[in-house]
Amino acid sequence: LGFTNKREESTTRCSATDMSSGWGSRGQMGRCFPIFQEFSDCVSLGDKSACGELREDYFECLHHNKEIARVNAINLERERKIKAGLPVPTSLTEDAKSGELKLPFTKVQ
């Protein structure tokens, strides 16, 4: 009969520009959009090999792979030191609870 579901059509069709429109999930500009714009501008100039660092920065902003790897490495080292009986520095949370850490302009006791 020629009837198409506009809602279904709009959700199945999506392009890179739709995905990187700049709007975040809460209505304001997405946190990674400025980095995407720089990367997009670089790619549009034609020399894609020069845009490697911007591409890496953009994907790190989206997925946090390097950040997660760093936190995991820190946690593994902390666990290794605890198992070996070596001294381990206290965390900021432990310092704040014990009163050794005073955070300015907060109500942390």
The predicted model gives 75-81 an average pLDDT of: 95
2, two tokens: 């020629």
Q: Residue 23's closest CA among 34, 10, 15? A: 34
The pLDDT value recorded for residue 51 is 93
Alpha helices (runs of H) in the chain, residue ranges in sequence order: 6-12, 16-19, 33-44, 52-63, 65-84, 92-98
Residue 35 vs residues 25, 30, 53, 69, 80: alpha-carbon distances, Å: 17, 10, 11, 21, 37
Q: How confident is residue 81, by pLDDT bands cut at 50, 70 and 90?
A: very high
